[in-house]
A and B are shown apart, each in its own frame.
Chain A
Amino acid sequence: MIFCENLYKAFGDNHVLQGVDLHIKRGESMVIIGGSGTGKSVLIKHIIGLLSPDAGRVTVDGQVVGDLHEDELNEMRKKFGMLFQGAALFDSLTVGGNVGFALKEHTDLAQSKIDERVKECLEMVGMKDVERLMPAELSGGMKKRVGLARAIAMNPQIILFDEPTTGLDPVMADVINDLIIKTTRALKVTSVTITHDMVSANRIADRIAMLYQGKIVAIGTPDEVMFNQTNPAVREFVEIGRIIRQTEAVQGRHIGAQ
């Protein structure tokens, strides 16, 4: 349902994307990995039309993102929920105002219904009684979780997560991993998650794609990416993941199957 075809993007002399091809299927959980600064964030910003490619195109549900008019683009974006790497909470609004923003703007729901939904979303990310706080009063990890709650508030069909577990303690990271698994599996949501966290990648991915030097150099199920690669850059990157998988195989546990 999401096709990135031959995407090129440069900022000045910095050639970030150099021919990215990526197909994300409906309902799958795609994890994108890759070194710092390789363009993972840039890539997902192309999917939702925040950046436009120098060459190539992105298609979502058959619509070419670059060809959409403003109103069409807004309609398309309503299918999406996005968590930014830095959370990007609105500092002038409370936590509740942030999470309920789209509900307030795009639905006719009464304020009481919005409040209910906000509460529900915050509980899903393990937060309680924080609606009245301002973003400046939150820790980095808390901001991230509020950003997650905002991303899922409208029940989007596609969710883009930019490093959802970075900066969280392992227990909270697990809560978030479970949330991603639950939303994708139960609600048939398509998700694209960027992560450096191999534990998380192992748990949530249906497929993993690795971005390296401007291209997708490996793509496949976690096993395929972790075990069947000859590219040394990929092998090195997924080393930890391989160890985790082997350990789990020894213990007879199946990934994500609880």
Chain B
Amino acid sequence: MLKKIAVGTLEFVGRYTIDMVKAIGLMGEFVGDTMKWLSRKPLRMGAAVDQMVEVGANSFPVVFFTAMFTGMVLALQSHTGFKRFGAESMVGTVVGLSMTRELGPVLTALVVTGRAGSAMTAQLGTMRVTEQIDALYTLAANPIKYLVVPRVIAGTLMLPVLTVMADFVGILGGFVVAVMLLGANPVLYMEKTFEFMEYNDMFSGLLKSMVFGFIISVVGCYQGFYTEGGAEGVGTATTKSVVMGFMLIFLANYILTALLFSNGGGGAKF
């Protein structure tokens, strides 16, 4: 009995590991192919611009909403905490730094994964199961070049744009709550927001968001590209794409933060 469970578990772990390694290999190949086509001229910039518009339009309202309320709740929370030791004047600083360094990039990335990343998976997945990707091959057109590269360019470039907007909207949300509800002085609040902010905060936030944008679009395309099993498969692939996107974003976020922010922005200590 015990032996059976042990063997069964081992077998499961073994098969799972093999599948995992295979998936990583396939993904590596996919990223390699994408990089190869990214470096080949001519890039299809027209298609990339179309995709940027789509990513932006898909995600803008939700990013706006998310950033707004996050900034607002940050102001409320930090005010409650800071009042205990008389540091209410620092609310603006906390909101500003949290938004630019961490919450702006990460929340935007999560929202875009849910909106645009999943849309990429659904589009490419549908094209896969209806043989449109095969049709591209038969027309001597490489689907990585035609479908994946424009989306990856769009994701990588659009995410910083959306992140800047999220930073701004979040700070604005915090400002509104602090001034209207908590009675902060508007001028002082704004001063405090930017007093301790360094270029590096903004810059590294944007660098992070570019990496996130790359991850989101590559994962979104990868899951779509290898979709199997008809319309149902497209649904499964979309879910997988979001889950995988989230996990990789959190992982990359930690690594990048450790690299970019430790020792006041210079060093690389984990």
Contacts and interface: CB of A to CB of B under 8 A. Distances in A.
B140 interface: yes
Which of B132, B136, B137, B141 has the most chain A CB atoms closer than 10 A to its own CB?
A: B132
A70 B135 CA distance: 16
A247 to B, nearest CB: 37
Contact of A48 (B126, B138, B141): B138
A88 B135 contact: yes
A102 B139 contact: yes
B134 A78 contact: no
Interface string A113-155: 0000000000000000000000000000000000000100000
Best-buried of A77, A88, A102 by chain B (most CB within 10 Å):
A88
Q: Kindly state the interface size class of chain B when it binds its partner.
A: 10 to 19
Contacts of A75: 140
Contacts of B19: none
A157 B131 CA distance: 22
A102 B126 CA distance: 21
B262 interface: no
A91 interface: yes
A86 B131 contact: yes
Contacts of A45: 134
Given A86-B130, A88-B130, A105 B135 contact: no
A180 B104 CA distance: 59
A77 B134 contact: no
Contacts of A85: 131
A101 interface: yes
Interface string B97-136: 0000000000000000000000000000011001110111
Nearest to B146: A105
A84 B140 contact: no
A78 B140 contact: yes
Contacts of A90: 127, 132, 135-136
A40 B217 CA distance: 36
Contacts of A82: 135, 138
A74 B140 contact: yes
Nearest to B33: A70
Contact of B131 (A88, A101, A105): A88
A82 B138 CA distance: 7
A181 interface: no
Nearest to B134: A50
Contacts of A69: none
A74 B138 CA distance: 8
Nearest to B138: A82
A188 B131 CA distance: 28
A254 interface: no
Interface in B145-172: none
Nearest to B139: A102
A88 B132 contact: yes
Nearest to B129: A86
B270 to A, nearest CB: 39
Interface in A82-104: 82, 84-86, 88-91, 101-102
B141 A105 contact: yes
Nearest to B126: A91
Contacts of A77: 137-140
A89 B132 contact: yes
A86 B134 CA distance: 12
A50 B132 contact: no
A58 to B, nearest CB: 14
B140 to A, nearest CB: 4
A202 to B, nearest CB: 28
A70 B142 CA distance: 9
Interface in A14-63: 45, 48-50
A162 to B, nearest CB: 10
Contacts of A78: 140
Nearest to B50: A92
B137 A50 contact: yes
Closest 9 pairs between A and B when the two form their complex, measured CB to CB: A88-B131, A88-B135, A74-B140, A82-B138, A77-B140, A102-B139, A84-B131, A78-B140, A50-B134
Given A77-B139, A84-B134, A102-B140, 19 more contacts: A45-B134, A49-B137, A50-B138, A74-B140, A74-B142, A80-B138, A84-B131, A86-B130, A88-B130, A88-B134, A88-B135, A89-B132, A90-B132, A91-B130, A101-B139, A101-B141, A102-B139, A102-B141, A105-B139
Interface of B: 126-127, 130-132, 134-142
17 contacts: A48-B138, A50-B134, A74-B140, A75-B140, A77-B137, A77-B138, A77-B140, A80-B138, A84-B131, A86-B131, A88-B130, A88-B132, A88-B134, A89-B135, A91-B126, A91-B127, A91-B130
